[in-house]
Amino acid sequence: MLGAPTDTSDEELIRRSAARDRAAFDALVARHGGALLRFATRSCGTEVEAADALQDGLLAAWRGAGTFRGDASARTWLFQIVLHCCRRRARRRAGEPEQHAPVEAAADLPGADAPEARVAALQAGAALEQALASLPAAAREVLLLRDVEGLSGAETAAALSIDLTAMKSRLHRARLELKARVEERLGRALSEVLP
């Protein structure tokens, strides 16, 4: 089995994975696993569901590496697969009580002796996290891919399997709604918390 040097492109790693090179696939997971898990956690709402969705997604990517056509980047392809697994798990648990429990604890973290800037950052992060979790799935997904994970507009559209114009429209509405919900939670503008 060939090794997978860190400068090997994602696309090459997938090509090697398609030839059943586990080291190559492990290198791909090492490179993107953290971001995929972070995305899955916020998309699924719980760490348990996220771990399951990540496992489903990585198994699907390993099995389907030979089907990667390179139309989108490898990173986009991986996000697309994990997103699909998150949605499938959401459909399975449809009807169950809402499980989203976004770092509520973060709001309680700032202690009286915590430095002011740290408290402000925690408050802002908690408000953003809670507001994001409260959004409908479609809005949450586009914000996670574009603004949290930093995919380009084209990559985000590809991951969501929609065209760029539709993605931009969805993103803009989602950002406006998020802004309103953050301010509702904070009782003031975000910039007043984070000067």
Residues that bind another protein (CB under 8 A): 20, 22, 25-26, 29, 33-35, 37-38, 42, 51, 54-55, 58-59, 62-63, 121, 124-125, 128-129, 132, 143, 147-150, 153, 168, 171-172, 175-176, 178-179, 182-183, 189-191, 194
The amino acid at residue 151 is: L
| Distance from C-alpha of 3 to C-alpha of 16, rounded to nearest angstrom | 10
Closer CB to another protein, residue 36 or residue 95? 36
Work out how close the CB of 46 gets to another protein at its nearest, in angstroms, rounded to a whole number: 14
- Look up residue 7 and give its two tokens: 């400068």
Q: Which residues contact 22 (CB under 8 A, 6 or more apart)?
A: 1
DSSP annotation of 67: G
Contact criterion met (CB below 8 Å) for 103 and 129: yes
d(CA 29, CA 34): 8
Whichever of 23 and 90 has its CB closer to another protein, that residue is 23
Q: Of 109 and 121, which has the nearer Cβ to another protein?
A: 121
Closest to another protein by CB, 6 vs 95, is 6
**Residue 149 Cβ, how far from another protein at the closest point, in Å?**
7
